[in-house]
Amino acid sequence: MSEPIRVLIADDQRVVREGLTMVLGLLAGVEVVGAASDGAEAVELAAGLHPDIVLMDLRMPRCDGVEATRRLREREPGARVIVLTTYSDDRSVIDALRAGARGYLTKDAGGAEIRRALEQVHDDGAVIDPAVQHHLIHAIATTAPAPVAAPARYPAGLTPREAEVLTLIAAGLSNLEIAERLVISSGTVKSHINRLLAKIGARDRAQAVAYAYRHGLAG
């Protein structure tokens, strides 16, 4: 029998913490190991509890979800972060992505959605709730600067062109817009995307966006 996914909850609202604890307690293969009322407490608890995943609220006192995610990445890299959002702050969502968050869920996500997200992120994937995806892509497209020069070496064996396409995906461009920007055909763009998705282990554009921000390939 496989070990349960160990989850730490971080939210400043007691009713949310208790609600999530109850929902997760009903899911087979999931164990809630602790609950924190702010980001600083989440980092402290993670150091002793070593959770697999932290469900992290963005807006909390003393230490918000973005800063807590950044600290966890440095001090407890084995703990993957899934952000809980209510769309209140597009900038914070993007900053959390850059800080290392591996997924996004809305606070009204049901048990089945949470379970799929936990399993996917636990298996080293990334997940963005469909309800968040369009909102997030819009935020990136309207706030991100023009793509900057990519690093000399690319992760996952990406070619310079694939890295460039990934950067444009992260900027919110469609296949047609990427083709126009790079002066190539839409078919060529699709081929680049299929290859880069396979290389980085992403199943869709949302996961590709998360990967781009985690690896410095977004503007």
Report pLDDT digits (tens) over 184-199: 888 899 999 999 999 9
Residue ranges and CATH numbers for the domains of the chain are 5-141 (3.40.50.2300), 145-214 (1.10.10.10)
Q: 């730490």: which residue's tokens? A: 8
pLDDT in tens, 72-97: 988 998 999 999 877 555 567 778 87
Residue-wise pLDDT for 102-120, tens only, equals 888 888 888 888 998 999 8
Q: What is the mean pLDDT of residues 37-65?
A: 93
Q: What is the mean pLDDT of residues 110-135?
A: 81
Question: Is 70 exceeded by the pLDDT of residue 138?
Answer: no
Cβ burial, residue 80 (10 Å; 0-12/13-18/19+) = buried
Task: List, edge to edge, every strand of the sheet that includes 103-106.
Answer: 30-36, 5-10, 53-57, 80-85, 103-106, 127-128
- How far apart CA 82 and CA 55 sit, in angstroms, is 5
Instruction: Check whether 203 has a pLDDT greater than 80.
Output: yes
E strands present in 91-183: 103-106, 127-128
Does the model's pTM come out above 0.85?
A: no
- Across the strands, what pairs with 9? 35, 55
The CA distance from 49 to 118, in Å, is 17
**In 3-state terms, what secondary structure has residue 63?**
coil
Paired tokens of 218: 């977004």
**For the chain, how many residues are written?**
219
Mean pLDDT for the stretch of residues 19-39:
94
- For residue 172, the model assigns a pLDDT of 84
